[in-house]
Structure 1
């Protein structure tokens, strides 16, 4: 049996480890990764020690079978830390790479191949899958597991695409995003979430001290984790909490729970601890209309409460605001052009206001966060699968559809034998599919399905 994993970030690494644990002797596993080192991916490929995990170390084990694995690994590396600590993301990438190498070494009876190559297309043939590589011969596999993540951020305004390459950075994670930027240059960040925080930290690390405008529709900033995010929850959900009702009534229940918790001196985050294991079931109960309402009206508020920031990261923003260097604004982007002085004149209107304001920036960064929209002229492997009718995109732009065993659905909704997907595009069906605790569970279940367990 030949297994092909496409993607070498967290999900690809977790899938590989699960397959290596359970694959029959004589099996063959190939992991194709066109990006950087295995285990890193976009999330953990940063080289800055200032970019921290947004989850305490105690919750970041690659497997739920050994919940303290990451903390123990850190201790073995001489980095003893409290499980409540928010450690550099690059350390987590190192940890994943080590655990994968250990699993490979433990299975000499399984043929392992790491392929630094891009897979451009997948075609079924006689019960197997033919994977065409960008370079070199095609591969043939019995089972293909797609472990690809999000797309680059969608452009927030068409006028930005007309700007010169040194004035607009559509993907803030590209290696040269900050290259050549003067320390006193004015900068505009489109988006006020976690990506904005990361970029602000990178700017500070390079000695940048120019003015910064961070703008989004609502101007919401990420909420902080507690300094110690691991105490036992003090708030317990009452019987029947969120068991029924409309989206509006459930929102009312959550708000009332937070109000009662805070009135009793408890932490509102404990309400979210109780909400998290219920989220997927709540999402399943919503029809498409209710989901669209959630995305249109509630998503920004959900994101800042659910995807919280490490306290240290938020402190950088607060200090820069106190110094008057950073303005976080709620407003609508109206347009952008290069002015006579060579700077980008960014026009925007404050939320609820009528007047057009202008900010001149030496460089504009798209910090709106990754996209999961498939039906937007995609190229590469997803574009090929979409063209061939082998994907069923979510009508709300949240990803794609899979069957109960993670088999990828085609354009007609039929499961495709031997072709699986695990990654953040599962949001369309499960909603919770972006953080390690959920992704490791999805990876484990998908690996078992691919093995026929």
Structure 2
């Protein structure tokens, strides 16, 4: 190509950045980007464009709920937006007039964290403008993102933009399971979007697909709204989440970077599942000071779910939950553990062990557990395992849910299965357009494949994008622990560092 026919990027494109999606992860990217541009002396003349359809920036799906029964599942002391200042959120709560006694309870309503994120964003916005960074907000849906020699092209509504770097932060996308029911008026595909649970009649029978923390949120919201009808939660394998007890600071002895380096011969080979399981077994047994009957722990409980829940609440109240503090201490190193595992080990974990891990790792606050126990004791809900099939009886206008050899008939059905990771089923036009062209690649374990360190998206041809980064829950196959705010915040910093390097 001759010099006069070269494709030249539009003026200033190299200094123009886009952040698509301004939930918690998008805010983390924006703040990291602003502060890195300022620290690097590159603020003057830079532009940051924000794309978000919601009025509130920072809430996203995770923290947009207005209901006080929806608590953070992590203690306030673990939710700081400043990794080097872990008490920042706690101090913010203490100074916030709307927090009240919730500060002392440690688990605060998620709406407060959304306000905290919004204030964090606004502080960075002021800093950006004072330092010469132009920030523009577009309340439109980004429908496409493609890259060529000129830069990264975004289509948002009728507008076409070209950027030097783009950070895609779409957050928790709706479940990609049970899509066949989405047009039925008594099916709630996402309790966080649209009318959600508000349209369910107080006396209606309700089925909730899942027994995770999202199902707990649904139960508590229905209870708070005065729902009186029978509710059944359905699960394939797992029971309700375990219960968090008092926080205990724990220092890892076995699941450490040093041991991972030793086991992998300096990170030159990958670990099989048995090797990783042995590390965690030693950590738990050494930390607890006793041998664990793993067959009993991993077995399906013989008693009723109400009995199991009552026992878990009692143990949490007595402080007999050191195992949770041990697992919680692994948060920062889990992405590295995941990276060292072989493809077969990861696949085995996802298909055979993810449900039990989630039950013990993603536990509910004691306050929520007490409320659930009261509901269960009153007969307000029950749990049915071994979910095998779901169908809709058009004649009677009811859902039929088969679980444990019994068919349950419910008027309303609520999907509480969480984020959808099947890209080909996603309702995002952005994802579908990029997937169709091969500009993103599905990860074998679900979600989007990216480079571990830079978060650059992987193309179908095996190359990584030079300018497009994806950060958030959909990188689970690469980073695993992406439902964690701290993991996504760390990845936001990594992506920004790679973009500005």
CA distance in 2, matches of 1:58, 1:83: 11
Matched, 1:153 2:207: no
Alpha-carbon contact 1:234-1:266 (below 8 Å) kept: no
Match of 2:280 in 1: 254
Any idea what SS the aligned residue of 1:179 has?
helix
Matched, 1:233 2:250: yes
For residues 233-282 of structure 1, give each alpha carbon's deviation from its aligned partner in whole angstroms, at most 9, with x where no partner exists.
28744887676463124324534543454455771123313433332232
Match of 1:206 in 2: 225
Alpha-carbon contact 1:36-1:45 (below 8 Å) kept: no
For residues 158-206 of structure 1, give each alpha carbon's deviation from its aligned partner in whole angstroms, at most 9, with x where no partner exists.
7xx2586222222222231223322121110010001100001110111
CA distance in 1, matches of 2:138, 2:456: 23
Alignment map for 1:212-291 (pairs within 5 Å): 212-226=231-245, 228-229=246-247, 231-233=248-250, 236-237=253-254, 244=263, 246-255=272-281, 257-259=283-285, 261-262=287-288, 267-291=322-346
Alpha-carbon contact 1:57-1:84 (below 8 Å) kept: no
Distance 1:266-1:260 versus aligned 2 partners, 3 A rule? farther
Match of 2:416 in 1: 367
Matched, 1:449 2:472: no
For residues 96-130 of structure 1, give each alpha carbon's deviation from its aligned partner in whole angstroms, at most 9, with x where no partner exists.
11111111112321111111111111232433122
Any idea what SS the aligned residue of 1:203 has?
helix
Q: CA RMSD in A?
A: 2.4
Gap regions ≥5 residues in structure 1: 351-355
Alignment map for 1:259-408 (pairs within 5 Å): 259=285, 261-262=287-288, 267-338=322-393, 340-344=395-399, 346-350=400-404, 356-376=405-425, 379-402=428-451, 404-408=453-457
Q: CA deviation at 1:82?
A: 5.0
- TM (norm. structure 2) is 0.82
Matched, 1:9 2:23: yes
Any idea what SS the aligned residue of 1:335 has?
strand
Distance 1:288-1:58 versus aligned 2 partners, 3 A rule? same
Any idea what SS the aligned residue of 1:386 has?
helix
Alpha-carbon contact 2:150-2:162 (below 8 Å) kept: no
Alpha-carbon contact 1:188-1:361 (below 8 Å) kept: yes
CA distance in 1, matches of 2:288, 2:474: 35
Matched, 1:63 2:82: yes
- TM (norm. structure 1) is 0.90
For residues 54-80 of structure 1, give each alpha carbon's deviation from its aligned partner in whole angstroms, at most 9, with x where no partner exists.
111111111213222211211221336
Any idea what SS the aligned residue of 1:375 has?
helix
Alignment map for 1:132-147 (pairs within 5 Å): 132-134=155-157, 136-147=158-169
CA distance in 1, matches of 2:346, 2:283: 22
Distance 1:375-1:163 versus aligned 2 partners, 3 A rule? closer
Alpha-carbon contact 1:6-1:147 (below 8 Å) kept: yes
Alpha-carbon contact 1:152-1:371 (below 8 Å) kept: yes
Q: CA deviation at 1:440?
A: 1.1
Gap regions ≥5 residues in structure 2: 1-14, 38-42, 264-270, 291-319
The counterpart of 2:52, out of the listed 33, 55, 72, is 33
Distance 1:411-1:77 versus aligned 2 partners, 3 A rule? same
CA distance in 1, matches of 2:50, 2:361: 32
Q: CA deviation at 1:224?
A: 1.5
Match of 1:191 in 2: 210
Match of 1:353 in 2: none
Alpha-carbon contact 2:443-2:449 (below 8 Å) kept: yes
CA distance in 2, matches of 1:41, 1:302: 26
CA distance in 2, matches of 1:168, 1:366: 8
Aligned residues: 440
Any idea what SS the aligned residue of 1:145 has?
strand
Q: CA deviation at 1:312?
A: 1.4
Distance 1:335-1:105 versus aligned 2 partners, 3 A rule? closer
Alpha-carbon contact 1:219-1:329 (below 8 Å) kept: no
Q: CA deviation at 1:368?
A: 1.1
CA distance in 2, matches of 1:82, 1:163: 39
Match of 2:106 in 1: 85
Match of 2:472 in 1: 423
Matched, 1:180 2:229: no
Any idea what SS the aligned residue of 2:374 has?
helix
Alpha-carbon contact 1:409-1:416 (below 8 Å) kept: yes
Match of 1:117 in 2: 140
Match of 2:8 in 1: none
CA distance in 2, matches of 1:89, 1:273: 20
Distance 1:281-1:379 versus aligned 2 partners, 3 A rule? closer
Distance 1:3-1:333 versus aligned 2 partners, 3 A rule? same
CA distance in 1, matches of 2:334, 2:251: 20
For residues 214-239 of structure 1, give each alpha carbon's deviation from its aligned partner in whole angstroms, at most 9, with x where no partner exists.
0101142111221x32x322874488
Alpha-carbon contact 1:219-1:328 (below 8 Å) kept: no
